[in-house]
Structure 1
């Protein structure tokens, strides 16, 4: 059960990380 929870937390971290980089990339594209 703890394993499942930590796995979900890890998935959330990956999702937030990808979203952050996607936003940063979009801002970089917009500034050019």
Structure 2
């Protein structure tokens, strides 16, 4: 099983300076 904290760390680093992606993802999910 993958360590959720490890995944969160990777995601947080990747999304750093890319908050617009997270926003787009949320909006796309709401459209479904």
TM-score normalised to structure 2 length: 0.45
**Structure of higher RCO (CA pairs closer than 8 Å, 6+ residues apart):** 2
More helix per residue: 1 or 2?
1
Query: Computing the radius of gyration over CA atoms, which structure comes out larger, 1 or 2?
Result: 1
After TM superposition, the score normalised by the length of structure 1 is 0.45
